[in-house]
Structure 1
């Protein structure tokens, strides 16, 4: 056992004990965060504009601060970006995390001296919880790889600006830097395919013990290794025992990834976002531990009421199990009543653990069914368990709206298979049956003849890679939306295939 793995065990025990302290009273933990945020926020332009002097309770805050997304808060973000101080948080942010936007183009999310530890400590504590729970720490003595964006930064309004993963890369603790791959020179390569070749070249001779990244991009890395060596990953990296991931549901990728490795490995799921590090997997069971003592105050809006005027804004003491909630954040990065866009469902209240169930704007309701991401992911996973030969590379679901009364509309599942089902018709039936069980509105639409059973479109190898490349979003932290309410992605996939 090396020094790092040896020292990690007492540190892990200490960190876990600190977490258990605030878990004893999560409502008070959130109240403390709330009070600290409001006190700091009083000295900002946003706080003055929204009468923070009059805020005593979360109900006061909800009355004075509306829920807004990035686009609605853009005037404040623009002032921060131009170099103004004391706009959303006292002083100027340390960094701006540049990320893909929707209607506004690129988004610039502030990271402050108060908020940056949230990102660093969250990932660290996820690993330490794993060490404490399993007793496994030897991975810290080998090489650790984080598939991330470029750490190269630019100056915007006098503020260092770059991708979140690249910014966080600058804060990797010194004791782990010698273990870290890829190298800085490789990490700053922008072209994903070129970067991947360099990563393979650098890591192939090393003793890789931990690999972290979004599953579909890690799969591309593994495929390159296998293609080059003709060996499964377990034979290339015999001590690779821990996979860390976030950003997408792992289940659709698990079978193919583990087959490429040649055996199963332990995994840890994270819930990172440019707006904050929100949760991590702290035990082997389902759900991610929501971090309630890390500078973020949470509000939860029932997802079905999100777009209604005066939708209820619940605090942590008011949430219930198995309900869909849209996440709203206020944080020490200077975010106030900020709609993250993600939906979560609580699977435990002691402590509070969530699963990320989808995106509030990524749903399929072209016919009134309001299908969410979690439903299609669970449906696909169930169908794959019934057809064990099936391996999926990537997928998305879109509506097919028919103007011909004799030919009802339907959902179209666009799937790139690594191994297709032997009986496609039976696989379609399994998908349809699974979604009907999970979504009563979809079931009603099929029973009423308004929708026909779904259509399965099998895409050629590399279809999703070509589509993402056409958008300039190949690799890194980019993800394909699971659901669309129009034909935009589906038609682009068809064109790029």
Structure 2
């Protein structure tokens, strides 16, 4: 028999579904309205005045006046906001800064405003409600739900609260979910990840867990600890666990491992949250892709990825995009980001309604565990580790090792030495220390015992050349990517690895 909460969830879900259908079925009109609202609201800000927002009437005007920027290029404005100035990128001051790992300037401070904050909370809630509407399954709302996330403890900077996005969002969980929500506030505040997961295992074991949510690599660790403690499959421990909600990284490499840990298949909902905005969520169980959030205070532009580095690439709005093309996604938001390149590439799986998948990053990267390690960081780490030494490197590339024969996953560095170090493990430690220093996500994963420090695989002399020759890319402008998010190159390099 359905409880009152479970019974009420269905009509509520239906109402939300209808509301979403309204804008999803009028996408171009919806985006035009968002665009006009953003421009008029920000016309009086420093950024609006600098870019003559008062004269912007349409997308073409916007393209002429506002160039595409990444964080580094927007940073002079962000620095003014961080220093406490008002009306810089958006009217007033932000409510929060989501602090994230930066690329070239250390930490990034992404503003969250009174207008943008609700969209981060509503999108996840709506994803669950659309699932209820589609499947009719609402029984899980009576059970316990776990959200594996960062600490909700916030710091203050010039009167503005500062923390990780997931920790900030923890302050906005609706009242009707508070009793069901786990872990406890005290456990959520534990900074050390391994200690935190142990505490979560203890707290959740006796409970009726029905929904589990988090980045797959974190959740995998939680599942493995549950199994170690009980000797049972997760699906046998939590008999009513039937919904897994995830985001942040590609789930596919984990799917088989998860089904083995759970012992059965469970429904899943994919989310596409970021500090810059909550862009999309899976709205149908049997459709590929996530519904692009067109009515959430964000205006989207798209640039074909293969033209992105041209001098003047064409900026498209949703009315001009095509299914199956790789686009760099550019956003303008009610948090004060303008023609902002978040670095992600997306592909549309459908334009009726607009659904996307995240296809990668515009630059090579590794984020198999949510670490967002980029090329510049691995090159800097290698440079710092070999500076003032006799070590000489011919070539290297990095790949994630998700399923090692033993121990925790790690980053595998394939290095061809001209002159090798006397102590290989000391070099590996220096590289790893530098990477941890540069990238807070990677540091969290190492400290949280989700990853072990990197391992070096030595490549024979001219091994990289032989590999490039084998794929018909020797010479010319062809380069070995510094890093990749899969093991295609790693597997192809196997014949050239020198046995330890």
Give the structure-2-normalised TM-score: 0.78
SS at match of 1:66: coil
Alpha-carbon deviation of 1:136? 0.4
Aligned to 1:120, what secondary structure does the other structure show?
helix
Count of equivalent residues: 417
Match of 2:320 in 1: 318
For 2:465, the equivalent position in structure 1 comes to: none
> Contact 2:34/2:295 (CA < 8 Å) preserved in 1?
yes
In the alignment, is residue 294 of structure 1 matched against residue 296 of structure 2? yes
Report deviation, 1:416.
Answer: 3.8
Partner in structure 2 of residue 27 of structure 1: 28
Q: Which runs of 5+ in 2 are unaligned?
A: 379-393, 412-428, 437-441, 453-479, 488-496
Aligned to 1:271: 272
- The whole-number CA distance in structure 1 between the counterparts of 2:282 and 2:223 is 24
Is residue 414–residue 459 contact of structure 1 (8 Å, CA) maintained in 2?
Answer: no
Inter-partner Cα distance in structure 2 for 1:416 and 1:320:
33
Deviation at 1:410, TM superposition (A): 10
Do residues 237 (structure 1) and 233 (structure 2) align? no
Q: CA deviation at 1:205?
A: 1.0
- In 2, Cα distance between the equivalents of 1:17 and 1:258? 33
Query: CA separation in 2, counterparts of 1:487 and 1:337?
Result: 27
Which residue of the partner structure matches residue 445 of structure 2?
Answer: 474
Q: Quick check: 2:365–2:483 contact (8 Å CA) kept in 1?
A: no
Asked whether the 8 Å contact 1:397–1:414 carries over to 2, the reply is: no
Partner SS state of residue 114, structure 1:
coil
- Aligned partners of 1:318, 1:327: CA distance in 2, in Å? 13
What residue ranges of structure 1 are gaps of 5+ in the alignment? 365-372, 378-391, 400-407, 418-457
Post-superposition offset of 1:340: 0.8
1:462 counterpart (397, 400, 408): 408
SS of structure 2 residue aligned to 1:472? helix
Question: Deviation of residue 3 (structure 1)?
Answer: 2.3
Q: How well do the aligned residues superpose, as a CA RMSD in angstroms?
A: 3.2
SS in 1 for 2:444: coil
Q: Is the 8 A contact 1:416 1:460 kept in 2?
A: no
- For 1:334 and 1:39, how far apart are their aligned partners in 2? 13
SS of the residue 2:443 aligns to: coil
What is the correspondence of 1:408-447 to structure 2 with a 5 Å cutoff?
414-417=400-403
User: 1:141 maps to which residue?
Assistant: 142
Deviation at 1:135, TM superposition (A): 0.3
Structure 2 Cα separation of the partners of residues 65 and 116 of structure 1: 24
Aligned equivalent of 1:195: 196
Partner residue of 1:367?
Answer: none
For residue 71 of structure 2, give the secondary structure of its aligned residue in structure 1.
coil
* Closer, same or farther: CA 18–43 of 1 in aligned 2, 3 Å: same
CA distance in 1, matches of 2:7, 2:156: 40
Match of 1:329 in 2: 331
CA 1:86–1:397 in structure 2 vs 1: closer, same or farther (change >3 Å)?
A: closer
Distance 2:300 2:197 in 1: 37
Which residue is equivalent to 2:70? Answer: 69
2:82 aligned with 1:81: yes
Aligned residue among 356, 359, 367 for 1:357:
359
The verdict on how the C-alpha distance between 1:240 and 1:320 changes in structure 2, with shifts beyond 3 A counting, is same
TM-score by length of 1: 0.78
Residues of 2 paired with 1:177 and 1:363: CA distance? 37
Cα displacement (A) at 1:397: 12
CA contact (8 A) 2:399 2:483 kept: no
Q: Per the alignment, do residues 10 and 247 of structure 1 end up closer, same or farther by CA in structure 2, a change over 3 Å counting?
A: same
Kindly indicate whether the alpha-carbon contact (under 8 Å) linking 1:397 and 1:411 is maintained by their aligned counterparts in 2.
no
Q: Say if 1:245 and 1:269, in contact at 8 Å, map to a contact too.
A: yes
The answer to whether 1:10 aligns with 2:11 is yes
